[in-house]
Amino acid sequence: MKDVIALDIGGTSVKCGLYDESGVLKKKWRVSTNTNGGGKSIFKDIHASFQKEGIDVSALSGIGVGVPGPVKDGTVHGAVNLGWETVNVPEALKTELKSGVSVYVGNDANVAALGEFSKRGEKVDNMLLITLGTGVGGGIVLNGDIVEGAHGGAGEIGHMSMDPEGPLCSCGGHGCLETYSSATAVKRMANEGIKVNPDSSLANLSYIGGRDVFEHAHQGDALSEGIIEEVAEQLGRAIANVNTTLDLPLILIGGGLAQAGEYLLSKVRGSYQAACFGTSCQAEIKPASLGNDAGMVGAFELVMRRG
């Protein structure tokens, strides 16, 4: 049996996994992401880690890669967090490795969706994964494969316009979903909220993290409860808008904020039901299960499904 390498390239580190073809993870390690000089040394650093870990590239059946940017047919068109402009990932990696090994690449959120999809017990062919972290990421799986879109940008649910007069988003737009339903948004709403609600228990904290807002909401703090309501209201409505179009049977919610579990998900389901249309109201909204490993598992699946 040959082995497969899975790489999840992020702005801080590259998660690397060595799998056998049956999906057993034999070892995993991390490489720091060096974004200096346009991220030119990233593949060199990955190669060096292969040598350190004793990876025999000629014995691999393929390498799967997730990258944080729009990917179309193996080429990433700008990955700001890596310092990359347009990079043909298979070509660049094979040149660095001096190998003809097969390389398959996808957008990291889409690849994570494929990872979660592959590990589900449900018999579904179509699914949406939404990750609630610093931003809001999304990936759509249709007929068992990632949807890239015409230009590699499919699944960017975080930048769906919820209110054109809403808060400024990192993308330059206003009122994108991620300005309401990300960890960044929760912190912003909390810091703005304590100015007008100085009696909130959040006002006693020197720093407010996303987890604090959930904890204080649990304890009955009205400001915190209102913030979680807003997160869930916007997220449920965004999912309903997507699903009125696609009628997917399953929506998974992952990322740091999703650790709030049923407390958040039950509110998201309520908001979804208030806004959904027709048969798509039957969709199930459930927690994702792979956590930080979703991207690596998905990169492994890219090799198995496309190889």
Contacts with Zn ion, residue ranges (CB under 5 A)? 159, 169, 171, 173, 176
Of the two residues 64 and 175, which places its CB atom closer to Zn ion in the complex?
175
- Minimum distance, C-beta of residue 107 to Zn ion, in the bound complex (Å): 16
Counting Cβ atoms within 10 Å, is residue 282 exposed (0-12), middle (13-18) or buried (19+)?
Answer: exposed
For residues 196 and 111, what is the distance between their CA atoms, to the nearest angstrom? 42
For residues 141 and 126, what is the distance between their CA atoms, to the nearest angstrom? 5
| Strand boundaries in the chain, DSSP class E | 3-9, 13-20, 25-32, 60-67, 71-72, 75-79, 84-88, 103-107, 127-132, 136-142, 145-146, 250-254, 284-287
- Minimum distance, C-beta of residue 130 to Zn ion, in the bound complex (Å): 15
- Minimum distance, C-beta of residue 303 to Zn ion, in the bound complex (Å): 32
- Minimum distance, C-beta of residue 234 to Zn ion, in the bound complex (Å): 13
Of the two residues 175 and 295, which places its CB atom closer to Zn ion in the complex?
175
For residues 214 and 192, what is the distance between their CA atoms, to the nearest angstrom? 16
Of the two residues 64 and 152, which places its CB atom closer to Zn ion in the complex?
152
Of the two residues 69 and 298, which places its CB atom closer to Zn ion in the complex?
69
Of the two residues 159 and 269, which places its CB atom closer to Zn ion in the complex?
159
Is 15 in contact with 292 (CB distance < 8 Å)?
yes
- Minimum distance, C-beta of residue 288 to Zn ion, in the bound complex (Å): 22
- The contacts of residue 206 (CB under 8 Å, 6+ apart) are none
Is 256 in contact with 209 (CB distance < 8 Å)?
no
| Residue 254, beta-bridge partner list | 131
Of the two residues 89 and 169, which places its CB atom closer to Zn ion in the complex?
169
Question: Given the structure tokens 């094979």, which residue do they identify?
Answer: 94
- Minimum distance, C-beta of residue 164 to Zn ion, in the bound complex (Å): 11
